[in-house]
Each structure stands twice: as structure tokens, then as C-alpha cells.
């Protein structure tokens, strides 16, 4: 079975506190977008094999482990262990989502493996969050209000079909370092996440006014500022970093304006793609 697995962006992302176990509580609006990895899964007699196809522009910046350290491999292992199955699988991932971008590229691959194995065997796993906080979201996709450490997911009004440019430089962000920087912020300005969720339902065309990300105050990368500035100069309605960085998304009124912006960003040496917000995580290819 082969699927396209969507990336996600955070239309808004706030950190609301630190839990006793060291994790941080968040409030966020997650949105799947039409930037995809391709994931194929084939059942075998035993063992888990994983191969990866990584574009040079990604590989040079962000090495992606293509062995048992990869979250997609861990997903297959969890699936077989939890269901007491002695078969195995062959997984191939063709990357289209940059890593260290705040777009859940690894988590969507893991969710895709769980989805494919579920379709192929009729079984499932009870706690996909064991693999990572974003994995449960990718099993549904679309637009969602997310709380806790990412495990409390409430579907929100559909926000698909919006035109975006997603861009990223060569710099990546360590999530752990980003959270440490958030902890040390003095008098941070918190995005209005709840108001965004309400606006998406009641006034979607103006919801962009509530886009925001607390991590922009904690993660200072010149490339992020440069990309955001260029998007706004190209008439983006809003331009915001996603996750803990370092990709930036810009919302545009028309595809023509978005294409023009993406072309300019590519000339400046950035990864830049035009896509839309989408309502589902997976597109079945074969």
C-alpha cells in the first residue's frame, strides 16, 4: 500500500505551562497542508526493513536516520508488538517534507505506517501517542484544536483550500532548545489561539488575523525573519513560523501571488513551495 502523507502547520501555537513530568502544555490550531511524503508499506514474513529517498537539498541540511531510530520504523515495531503479530514489513519513504521544520514530517510518516498496516491487516494500535505527541493528529488530519502535550485533539471547522507558500532556510531548530528559550521569556505575548478557532468557524476569511506563534519570540533565526519579511512584501495576508521552527508559512489571496513569492524565495536560496490547506492526512496512491 502506498500513500501520500501530509505535513502540518500550526496556525497558532502557544505554550501555556510546564508539567511536573517536564513536558510543556500547549494550545494550538493544527492544520494539514498539501506538502507530502510518499510512504509505501509491504507486508513480509518477518523483520522490518526501511529505505529512504531524501532530496539532496534536505539531506545536506538535516540528516534523516534511515534505520531503527526512524519513527516510521518504531511505528511498525509498535504495531506488530501490540497486536502480537510475527510478520514484518518493508517501508519506503520518499521525503517531500523538510525535516527540522516544525511540520511533523516524521510524525506523519509514522501515522502513515500505522494507517497502511491497519488497512492491510484490519488491526490498530491503542496509543499512537507513544510514538510522539503529533502522531494521533495525523491519523485524522484536517483542522483541529490541540491541547495538553498534543494528545487532546478537538476537530475544528474545515479550513481547507487556503493558498500558502511554505519556505525554509538551511538552519534547523532543536525542539528542546526552543522550549528552553520559551521558559526563559520575560512577559511573552501569547497568541489568541481560542479566538483563532472561533474565527475559523464564524469568520474564516479574517481568521488569519489571529495566526501567531509564541516560539517566534524564543527562536531568533535571521533566515526566519528574512523569509517572513519577503512574504509580507509579496502581499501575504499573514506570515508565521510553524512549530518550534524553522519553516514559515504565508497565506495568500491568489495562487499567482503565491507563485511569485515562492519564485523570489527560491532565487534567494530558500526551499519554497506553494500548496493549500487540506482536509485529510492521507491520499491513497496504490
Domain ranges of the chain: 2-156, 163-276
Catalytic (active site) residue 134: yes
Whether 279 has a pLDDT exceeding 70, the answer reads yes
pLDDT digits (tens, 9 = 90+) for 140-177: 999 999 999 888 999 999 999 999 999 999 887 778 88
pLDDT digits (tens, 9 = 90+) for 246-269: 899 999 999 999 999 999 999 999
Give 66 or 238, the one with higher predicted confidence: 238
Distance CA 252, CA 239 (A): 9
- The CB-side HSE value for 197 (13 A sphere, CA atoms) comes to 17
Binding residues for ATP, as ranges, are 98-108
Catalytic residue among 14, 62, 134, 168: 134
Domain 2-156 sits in CATH 3.30.230.10: yes
Binding residues, as ranges, are 98-108
Question: pTM for the full model?
Answer: 0.95
Task: Tell me what the mean pLDDT of segment 10-21 comes to.
Answer: 92
pLDDT digits (tens, 9 = 90+) for 199-244: 999 999 999 999 999 999 998 889 999 999 999 999 999 999 999 8
Q: Do 2-156 and 163-276 show the same overall fold?
A: no
The secondary structure of the chain as a DSSP string is -EEEEEEEEEEEEEEEEE-TTS-EEEEEEEEEEEEEEEEEEEEESS-EEEEEE--HHHHTTS----STTSHHHHHHHHHHHHTT---EEEEEEE--SPSSSSS-HHHHHHHHHHHHHHHHHS---S-GGGT-TTHHHHTT-SEEEEEETTTEEEE----TT-EEEEEE-S----HHHHHHHHHT-SSPPPP-HHHHHHHHHH-GGGGGGG-EETHHHH---HHHHHHHHHHHHTT-SEEEE-TTSS-EEEEES-HHHHHHHHHHHHHTT-EEEEEEB-S-SEEE--
E strand or H helix at 28: strand 24-44
Please give the class, per CATH, of domain 163-276: alpha beta
Catalytic residue among 4, 8, 74, 95: 8
Amino acid at each position: 500500500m502506498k500513500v501520500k502523507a501530509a505535513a502540518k502547520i500550526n496556525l497558532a501555537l502557544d505554550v501555556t505551562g510546564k508539567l511536573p513530568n517536564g513536558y510543556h502544555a500547549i494550545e494550538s490550531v493544527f492544520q494539514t497542508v498539501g506538502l507530502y511524503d510518499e510512504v509505501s508499506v509491504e507486508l513480509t514474513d518477518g523483520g522490518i526493513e526501511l529505505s529512504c529517498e531524501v532530496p539532496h537539498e534536505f539531506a545536506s541540511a538535516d540528516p534523516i536516520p534511515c534505520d531503527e531510530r526512524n519513527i516510521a520504523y518504531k511505528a511498525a515495531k509498535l504495531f506488530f508488538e501490540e497486536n502480537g503479530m510475527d510478520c514484518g514489513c518493508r517501508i519506503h519513504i520518499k521525503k517531500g517534507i523538510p525535516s527540522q521544520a516544525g511540520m511533523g514530517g516524521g510524525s506523519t510518516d509514522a501515522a502513515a505506517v500505522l494507517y497502511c498496516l491497519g488497512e492491510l491487516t484490519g488491526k490498530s494500535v491503542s496509543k499512537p501517542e507513544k510514538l510522539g505527541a503529533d502522531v494521533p493528529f495525523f491519523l485524522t488530519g484536517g483542522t483541529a484544536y490541540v491541547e495538553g502535550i498534543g494528545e487532546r485533539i478537538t476537530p475544528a471547522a474545515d479550513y481547507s483550500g487556503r493558498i500558502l507558500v511554505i519556505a525554509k532556510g538551511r538552519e534547523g531548530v532543536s525542539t528542546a532548545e526552543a522550549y528552553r528559550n520559551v521558559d526563559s521569556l520575560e512577559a511573552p505575548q501569547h497568541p489568541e489561539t481560542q479566538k483563532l478557532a472561533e474565527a475559523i468557524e464564524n469568520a474564516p476569511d479574517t481568521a488569519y488575523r489571529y495566526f501567531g506563534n509564541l516560539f517566534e519570540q524564543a527562536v531568533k533565526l535571521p533566515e526566519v525573519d528574512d523569509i517572513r519579511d519577503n512574504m509580507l512584501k509579496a502581499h501575504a495576508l499573514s506570515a508565521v513560523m510553524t512549530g518550534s521552527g524553522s519553516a514559515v508559512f504565508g497565506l495568500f489571496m491568489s495562487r499567482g501571488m503565491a507563485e511569485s513569492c515562492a519564485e523570489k524565495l527560491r532565487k534567494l536560496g530558500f526551499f519554497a513551495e506553494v500548496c493549500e490547506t487540506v482536509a485529510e492526512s492521507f491520499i491513497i496512491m496504490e
